[in-house]
């Protein structure tokens, strides 16, 4: 598959914003352009601005271009603001919910936890990171991964869980209590530019 396996910090440097909330990505020096000396900043074209905005979102949710196009098509088909629907679809992904709960530090670790079969949805094993959760779904973790999840939660003491998720830290379970809204997304992105990119 065409999944990117290189250095992840390079992605943050490419789009100019941290795509993961860890010191490696948030350090100021890491937001210089990639390469030994960086490349000279040219004035971005209208196309370049929209492309960068789209790549920010793709890198943040670790989604391939083909998958991302499907999300765009689906959000256009549904009722409501296309940009807001797109963000809802991406936020409802299982790997993203695992990250938002604070069980892991990055989307890549969340993806690995799901694909290795450590996550249960309504008591059944789900190993697809792209699985879309619905209101009322209960996410739990297998016993053998509890120790790692608790260590991660302790290391991220100030982590804020979004209001659309109800996390029980004692039992390491999470319930989806509502649909995510765009203002509950802890990532600054202009969805209008992304929708324009695909029109």
Domains of the chain: 9-90+185-197 (1.10.1050.10), 93-178 (3.10.290.10)
What's the N-to-C CA distance of the chain in angstroms?
Answer: 27
Alpha-carbon span 51 to 46, nearest angstrom = 9
What are 193's two structure tokens? Answer: 């530019």
| CA 84 centroid distance within chain | 15
Summarised one tens digit per residue, pLDDT across range 3-59 is: 778 887 778 778 877 777 776 666 665 566 666 655 556 677 888 889 988 988 998
Find, among 107, 126, 111, the residue nearest to 60 by Cα. 107
Q: What is the pLDDT of residue 38?
A: 58
Q: What is the pLDDT of residue 192?
A: 87
Q: Which residues are bridge partners to 124 per DSSP?
A: 121
Low-confidence ranges of the chain (pLDDT < 50): none
Q: What is the pLDDT of residue 158?
A: 78
Alpha-carbon span 135 to 175, nearest angstrom = 8
Tell me the average pLDDT of the chain. Answer: 85
pTM: 0.86
Q: What is the pLDDT of residue 17?
A: 79
Strands (E) across 90-185 are located at 119-121, 124-125, 138-141, 165-168, 173-176
Find, among 40, 14, 38, 36, the residue nearest to 25 by Cα. 14
């Amino acid at each position: 598959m065409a999944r990117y396996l290189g250095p992840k910090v390079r992605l943050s440097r490419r789009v100019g914003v941290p795509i993961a909330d860890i010191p490696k990505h948030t350090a100021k020096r890491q937001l210089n352009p990639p390469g030994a000396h960086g490349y000279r900043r040219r004035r971005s074209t209208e196309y370049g601005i929209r492309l960068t905005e789209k790549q920010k979102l793709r890198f943040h949710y670790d989604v391939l271009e083909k998958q991302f196009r499907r999300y765009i098509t689906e959000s256009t088909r549904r009722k409501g603001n296309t940009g807001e629907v797109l963000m809802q679809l991406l936020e409802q992904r299982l790997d993203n919910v695992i990250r938002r709960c604070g069980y892991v530090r990055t989307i890549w670790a969340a993806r690995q936890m799901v694909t290795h079969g450590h996550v249960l949805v309504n008591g059944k094993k789900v190993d697809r990171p792209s699985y879309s959760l619905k209101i009322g779904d209960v996410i739990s973790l297998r016993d053998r991964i509890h120790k790692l999840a608790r260590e991660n939660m302790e290391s991220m003491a100030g982590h804020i869980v979004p209001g659309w998720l109800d996390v029980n830290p004692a039992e390491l379970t999470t319930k989806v209590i509502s649909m995510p809204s765009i203002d509950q997304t802890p990532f600054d992105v202009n969805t209008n530019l992304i929708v324009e990119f695909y029109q």
